[in-house]
Amino acid sequence: MKRRDFMKCAAGFSAGLGAGIAFSPLPWQLLDDISVWTQNWPWIPANPKGENTYELSTSKLCPSGCGLKVRLLNGRVLRVLPQAGHPLGGGISPLAAAEPQLLYSPSRLTTPLRRNSEGSHSPISWPEAKTLLLGKLEAAGEKLLCLCGDESGSGSAVLSAFLRARGSEKIFFMPSEAQCQSLAWQHARYADSSLPYSSQAGYDFEKADLVLAIGANIMEAWGTVMRNRRIVAEKGAEKGFPLYYAGPVQNQTAALAAGAGGGWLPIRAGSETSLALGLANVLARTHGKKLAHPAFAQIEHGLARFDPAHVSAVTGLGPRRLEEMCEKLAQAAAPLVVCGSEFGQGAGCGPALSGLLLNLLLRGPLTAVPLHTAALPGARGRADIYRGDIVRELTGWGGRPAADLAIFYEANPAYALPGAAALADKIRAIPFKLAFAPFMDETAALCDLVLPTPLGLEKLDDIESPLGCGKVFYALARPLAEAPGQCRHGADVILELAAALDMGLPANYEAVLRKKAQDMSLSWISLSRGQSFERPAPELEAADCDLSVFDKLLFRSLRAARGASSNGRRAGLAPLCRNALGTPQTGIPPFALKTLRAKELKGGEMYVFANSATARALGLYQDARVSVRAAGGNGNAVRNTGGNTGRAITARFNIFEGIADDCLGAYLGFGHSALDEYSRGKGANICELFSPEPEEGSGLMTWHKTEVTVEVVA
Amino acid sequence: MSMIALKEFKIRWGMAIDVDKCTGCGACMVACQAENNIAPVSDASDKRRALNWLVVYELSNGKAFPDHDLAYLPRPCQQCGTYPCASVCPVTATDKNEEGGIVSQIHPRCIGCRYCMAACPYHARYFNWQDPVWPRGLEKTITPDVSVRPRGVVEKCSFCHHRFMWAKDLARLENREPGRLREGDYLPACAESCPSGAIVFGDLHNPTHRVHQLAGSERAFRLLERLGTEPQVYYLSRRAWVRRQGDNYLPDEKKPLP
């Protein structure tokens, strides 16, 4: 071959090869494979494979009791989706949707832990824990105290039966709006009423054609939120729905009210009851909304001082807007008023009673929802347990604790009680403390024995008629995931201890729930497949109520109102709740952390907020670092809470115009000193600022009128 | 104006988000993260680095108390009809070529140049500055449906495209036409989870779908509509100030507002 031919062949071959490569899929496929390979490093998690199944349940974690459709992959819980057709559902709350990550959190407690002399906790076995506990129970005798964080389940009945068999009546729930509502209802229920003693007021949103929420953040954090939102969305699908919100902060309910065609009535923090009574006064005098009852004259006399001018001075709401609201309420066929605490606790009986009075005047769709108590010897019903007040109990102790052994059942009082640090000192002084907890929270960290418990998707438990529910509701939370390590349901552990002490209680918690379902004539098979039940509750009539309660309790509960303008650098604290900020026991779920906005949390600092007029009056400016200090209420603060008067938190300041004058807004749920990296060290715990005071009349401790001083710090 | 001509399809999946019904609870954001395997971060307050396919913005009418009003605006990818992101992508990692009109994002093709992020007027695209990290145990919440993205690639909302595939598969199994899905057969996780029913999803071309009717409502508007991106996400509000914030109107603008 000549050189020229060789060159021609080589050129032809090269050109052919080039063309072949260019038109062949091979290089492109290789390039694609390489690019895929470069993005599949071993440290990048791979997608799992497997079979999908779906199960129904009801959320035990979310206070709204929303319905769940749980997706499982190879039998493992993967996702939580909304359950269509669930009576308390309609969507899913951020908290319920974020629950799977909590199940697998590396911070979960997996073994019993005993506190050693250095203050740290070491693992022990269950038999050791049980032996230790039996010994401590024997030694404590009747000096037992139990604080329960689960209001909607039957765990409280088991605990109360256990305590009563040991000679103690000291069982309490964590302070909540449900307690305020329940106590108000118990005071108002006429002694000879045909309605059951153990019942609660229900709010029948389905029948309402206008809803006024005073204080209660019914679209975010008060009661059956998912149901409330579904109903308002359905009713207002075409032309909106007349939803009104009265409260210090333009919160989620106010946002929905503005969008739905209603509106926001800004009032000062803690003035909800005055506004409700002002409305009742105008409705009775101007619109003829009266009760045909001899006791009503006394009520009218009590209402007389709540004329528009007085109410305007107390609430900051103009008399014209008050009267406009009355006109709308009077014209509606079935108006419903929900009056409660903006942050779901600490408001006493006043708001609930004033809401009851308004609903009676307007003949609003209120119901009396009967509550069922698990049939255990000595068990106390939910309504009965609400009569105890843990804040009054702890603050009433002198130098020595009145209990030798305390059980904290899914409750985190060291974080969530008002004046938390001061009351934590009281808890710390109890000789032996036991916590049933899924995470090492602030209270568990103080306890001598910590027993790991399952979360809502890992245990069999029940949910009965949560706060605000207008009908009788019952469902089971199902154990769809395996609890990590040696977690055991707290109620089962208590029943095991009861068996060891020959108390005659059922052998396990499932037997308690089965008996309760049987007593309620519900199918256990349907319940255990995730079906929920709803039954109508009787409507509430004025004849069922003891109208003298309004004079005896309600009008007395109102002390001298706060002045119309801020006193020097004082402001009324307006706390807010957000579902996404989790619970005191779990902290903020990892997924929910990203829902926080730039002016709510920045690094480790949270924001507090006020409007520009208040900021000017207080000498504050945007992004200033401020110290917020409890001003100690109006002088009647309980002194022996350990001195929370003077306690301070540090935060950044944000100007937000959606808040009433003289108020400082702040979110609850921040400032954990325990739990995981998604909750710990983020912001400050505003529970520290609360100053509990006894409510006149009911005696219930309240802290919704906390005042603070604010100053810029370096 | 966008550099790409409007690309039409027989089916145009779209959303109508009723701003008046949104309470800003964040359920849609949580559902989106869980559905699409978006890793949690311990400092989510660093909004430049925290990665979300769907963000709920708080809107204010800018007035002082007591005239203040607020609204919440969820912002997924707008799935623009004239998609400015795809025209700048040098490797065709993002495109709009499938029936349904969803702007795709092919993560293995992405070279991380971030031109698309600069081009997107809605800030709907996010860059993985770090590898995703799931704390030990939390990787059990990773779903089989959406691949986990490494550092160095851009990602965005896909209208939960895998659910579109499921809906078509189900239609085939039930001997139905996969190209004619019924309303509700295919729902992104955000629309499914919203407790207020604020997010309505469906085919914008199908007159029987609610989203079609809502898109034609006098309350409807789209974000930055005057850029001509033809988004497939519509917003609804009765409030003029909310509609006005949907675009950059001059204070004394004479042109009628949407």
Please name every residue paired with A693 in a beta bridge, in sequence order, or none if there are none. Answer: A702
Give ∠ CA A231-A200-A285 in degrees, rounded to 5: 75
Q: Are residues A665 and A626 in the same domain?
A: yes
Residue A686 lies in a domain: yes
Contact A48 B40 (CB under 8 A): no
Give ∠ CA B42-B76-A239 in degrees, rounded to 5: 120
Residue of A nearest to B33 (CA): A591
CATH code (residue A79): 2.20.25
Residue B257 lies in a domain: no
Contact A250 B68 (CB under 8 A): yes
Give chain A's largest Cα–Cα span. 128
Q: Are residues A337 and A420 in the same domain?
A: no
Which residue is listed with tokens 């504050």?
A620
For residue A289 the two structure tokens come to 């909304």
Domain end residue (candidates: A366, A394, A416): A366
Residue A332 lies in a domain: yes
What is the average pLDDT across B12-19?
97
Q: Classify the phi-psi angles of A206: left when phi > 0, otherwise alpha if psi is within -120 to 50, otherwise beta.
A: alpha
CB B197 within 8 A of CB A259: no
Q: Are residues A191 and A169 in the same domain?
A: no
Residue A182 lies in a domain: no
Using one digit for the tens of pLDDT, what is the confidence trace for A498-547? 999 999 999 999 999 999 999 999 999 999 999 999 999 999 888 888 88
Contact B25 A104 (CB under 8 A): no
N- to C-terminal Cα separation, chain B? 19
Please provide the average confidence, as pLDDT, over all residues in chain A: 91
Name the band, by pLDDT with cuts 50, 70 and 90, for residue A193. low
H/E stretch holding B6 reads: none
Residue A45 lies in a domain: no
What is the average pLDDT across A183-208?
82
Segments of A182-270 assigned E as strands: 199-203, 210-214, 243-247, 263-266
Q: Are residues A34 and A146 in the same domain?
A: no
Lowest mean pLDDT across A15-29, A405-419, A671-685:
A15-29
Q: Give me the domain span that covers residue A22.
A: 3-38
**Chain center to CA of A511:** 28
Which residue is listed with tokens 């008046």?
B20
Contact A258 B69 (CB under 8 A): yes
Distances (CA, A) of A563 to A219, A559, A560, A629: 30, 12, 9, 19
Please name every residue paired with A249 in a beta bridge, in sequence order, or none if there are none. Answer: A659
The Cα of B1 is separated from the nearest Cα of chain A by a number of Å equal to 31
CA neighbor of A184 nearest in space, from A702, A708, A712: A702
Q: Which among A48, A82, A611 has CB closest to B144?
A: A48
Residue B1 lies in a domain: no
**Count of domains for chain B:** 1
Which residue is listed with tokens 């700048």?
B88
HSE at residue B144, side-chain half, CA atoms within 13 A, is 12
User: With 0-12 CB in 10 A as exposed, 13-18 as middle and 19+ as buried, what is B174?
Assistant: exposed
Contact A101 B64 (CB under 8 A): no
Using one digit for the tens of pLDDT, what is the confidence trace for A120-172? 999 999 999 999 999 999 999 999 999 999 999 999 999 999 999 999 999 99
Q: Are residues A209 and A351 in the same domain?
A: yes
3-state secondary structure of A51: coil
Residues in chain B with CB shorter than 8 Å from the CB of A43 are 131
Predicted complex ipTM:
0.95
Give pLDDT, residue A642.
37
Residue B93 lies in a domain: yes
* Alpha-carbon torsion (A451, A456, A457, A459), positive or negative: positive
Q: Are residues A320 and A403 in the same domain?
A: no
Residue A93 lies in a domain: yes
Q: Are residues A419 and A486 in the same domain?
A: yes
Q: What is the 3-state secondary structure (H, E, C) of A429-492?
A: CCCEEEEEECECCHHHHHCCEEEECCCHHHCCEEEECCCECCCEEEEEECCCCCCCCCCCCHHH
Distances (CA, A) of A419 to A600, B81, B177: 22, 56, 63
Contact B60 A658 (CB under 8 A): yes
Residues in chain B with CB shorter than 8 Å from the CB of A595 are 25-26, 29-30, 56
Residue B258 lies in a domain: no
Query: What are residue A164's phi and psi, to 5 degrees?
Result: -65, -40
Residue A550 lies in a domain: no
Give pLDDT, residue A259.
87
Q: Are residues A453 and A575 in the same domain?
A: no
Q: Are residues A431 and A578 in the same domain?
A: no
Name the band, by pLDDT with cuts 50, 70 and 90, for residue A98. very high
Give pLDDT, residue A31.
80
Residue A602 lies in a domain: yes
User: With 0-12 CB in 10 A as exposed, 13-18 as middle and 19+ as buried, what is A26?
Assistant: exposed
CATH code (residue B108): 3.30.70.20
Residue B249 lies in a domain: no
Q: Are residues A596 and A673 in the same domain?
A: yes
Q: Are residues A161 and A191 in the same domain?
A: no
Q: Which among B43, B136, B193 has CB closest to A92?
A: B193
Domain end residue (candidates: A334, A366, A398): A366
The Cα of A160 is separated from the nearest Cα of chain B by a number of Å equal to 36
Residue B103 lies in a domain: yes
**Count of domains for chain A:** 5
Euclidean distance between CA atoms B34 and A605, whole angstroms: 26
The Cα of B147 is separated from the nearest Cα of chain A by a number of Å equal to 6
Contact B70 A658 (CB under 8 A): yes
CA dihedral A347, A349, A351, A356 (to 10 degrees): 160
DSSP B64: P
* Alpha-carbon torsion (A317, A323, A326, A328), positive or negative: negative
Residue B251 lies in a domain: no
Q: Give me the domain span that covers residue B23.
A: 13-244
Give pLDDT, residue A547.
87
**Chain center to CA of B25:** 17
Q: Are residues A321 and A337 in the same domain?
A: yes
Residue A557 lies in a domain: no
Q: Which among B66, B70, B195 has CB closest to A93?
A: B195
Residue B254 lies in a domain: no
